[in-house]
Structure 1
Amino acid sequence: MTVAHRESGKAVPAVGLVGGWSFPAEMFAPLVRRLPSVEVSAHDWKGFADTWLDDGVPVEVAGGTWLGWSLGGGLLLEAIARGNIRPDRLVLVSATPRFLAADGWPGAALGEWRALRRAALADARSAACGFRRHFGLPGCAVLPPGESDHVSGLDWLAAIDRRDLLETLDMPVEVWLAPDDPLIPSTWSEQLALPRTVIGRRLPKSGHAALFDAWDDLARALDPGAV
């Protein structure tokens, strides 16, 4: 099978990848290289949202494994809830069904989210760069231009709440979380009555940037013959 590394499209890949806020689809290049025998479709968050979450453009995609990191994981849950995609398998990496904190729910403080949103409205690229530096995320010097830093991604973060969906999914789900992640508390899964189809995994390093040290682990999870 050939390797596809594109930002959008409605074809059903063997593996679909959805990135986080301010990151282009190319963030997954190290993972794509580790999956030479798998057809892969990589998307930035906005390309995915515009294709699979636009109510004016109905899309139904079934099959494949979908992996979402950070905001990308929340967008995948939203697309599943809307009936727009139906994966055979779902992999959530440093992602949560609800980003903002609530009563009995660990998450980001509303005030912190509002501050980032104000900064993004004033200067999206500067806000995205500050966001990356604060959370130890790579690539500040090569921020993508334009829409990838758009404030609408932050609005998606605040709006998505699919805790109920995770408690009822009957497809295999892997939840990969890292200790000491200030954005995605590793304890959120303990607050839900998750079915046996949902399996918890631990990322090898701590913090929100743990994904970038876990390409080998994730490649093996997506294709046992990889790496």
Structure 2
Amino acid sequence: MSALVLLHGWGLSHRVWAPLLAALPGHAMLTPDLPGHGDAPRAGPRLADWSDAVAAGLPKGCTLAGWSLGALLALDIARRHPDKVARLILTGASPRFTATDDWPCALAADTLRDFRTAFAAEPDATQRRFVALQALGDHARRNVTQTLTAALTPADTAHREALADGLALLADTDLRPILPAIAQPVRLLHGARDALMPVAAAEHLADALPHARLSIFADSGHAPFLSRPDDFATLVEGARHD
């Protein structure tokens, strides 16, 4: 079976995967930090810079599982480095995180703009707000908040520029045009109560990707792998055999 690689979301680190790793014992898994997060060096400011940096450490033919910003990277890696990716598992995913006139199923543009402005002035407080948004609506909100907070990459001088780059990627990236070119099978996992990224974004992905299936967690927010790790692990196992 191919290696399972887990890509976390903005502002966090590989530590966020601990509950899922416990639910998937005995599997070959890699949990790299995103560029400029955790212990990983900063890449350039473009999505391609981040994708190339992550892809360099991937084994060929892996199952690439991305969450939130990690899902954007996973899609871009699958397109630009198809030999590295046999299948995709995307959680809390969207091809575009910022709403436009022709893309309403996303965060309002002024919301992300405010996050970027706030992060420049008060990075620690902004990260806490982002954690609260990711846990909102989840039946296990308190536990999700605690786990996310413990997994944060500190917004110190060593990481702040890379974290700002990540917010810019969330604000500016639009991968809708590349979706028909994603040839790998894709399993989409999404929380019905996701307050950061509406289910409609995952439904769009399910329609636009050539080989995609969507499963929805009725009582979860943006991080169902934290609130329902055992159920999430079962679906991951199934996706690896698709």
Aligned residue pairs total 213
Give the structure 2 partner of residue 175 of structure 1.
188
Q: Hey, what's the Cα distance between the residues in 1 that align with 2:149 and 2:209?
A: 42
Q: Deviations over 1:71-106 (max 9, x none)?
A: 110111122333376311100001111111122321
Matches within 5 A, 1:72-91: 72-83=70-81, 86-91=84-89
Q: Hey, what's the Cα distance between the residues in 2 that align with 1:130 and 1:189?
A: 23
Q: Hey, what's the Cα distance between the residues in 2 that align with 1:138 and 1:66?
A: 25
Q: Hey, what's the Cα distance between the residues in 2 that align with 1:109 and 1:177?
A: 20
Q: Which has the higher contact order (CA 8 A, sep 6+)?
A: 2
Give the structure 2 partner of residue 138 of structure 1.
145
Amino acid of the residue matched to residue 96 of structure 1?
S
TM-score when scaled to structure 1? 0.80
Amino acid of the residue matched to residue 29 of structure 1?
A
Q: Hey, what's the Cα distance between the residues in 2 that align with 1:160 and 1:54?
A: 13
Q: 1:117: Cα distance to partner? A: 0.4
> Per the alignment, do residues 59 and 116 of structure 1 end up closer, same or farther by CA in structure 2, a change over 3 Å counting?
same
Q: 1:38 aligns with which of 20, 27, 32?
A: 27
TM-score when scaled to structure 2? 0.76
Larger helix share, 1 or 2 = 2
Matches within 5 A, 1:1-227: 14-46=3-35, 47=40, 50=43, 53-54=48-49, 59=56, 61=58, 62-83=60-81, 86-105=84-103, 106-136=105-135, 137-139=144-146, 142=150, 143-145=152-154, 146=156, 147=159, 150-191=163-204, 193-223=207-237
Moved more, 208-217 or 18-27: 208-217
Do the aligned partners of 1:60 and 1:83 also contact (CA within 8 Å) in 2? no
Q: 1:68: Cα distance to partner? A: 0.8
Percent of residue pairs bearing the same amino acid type: 29
Do the aligned partners of 2:180 and 2:210 also contact (CA within 8 Å) in 1? no
Structure 2: any 5+ residue segments left out of the alignment? 136-143
> Per the alignment, do residues 189 and 32 of structure 1 end up closer, same or farther by CA in structure 2, a change over 3 Å counting?
closer
Structure 1: any 5+ residue segments left out of the alignment? 2-12
Moved more, 149-158 or 24-33: 149-158
> Per the alignment, do residues 141 and 174 of structure 1 end up closer, same or farther by CA in structure 2, a change over 3 Å counting?
closer
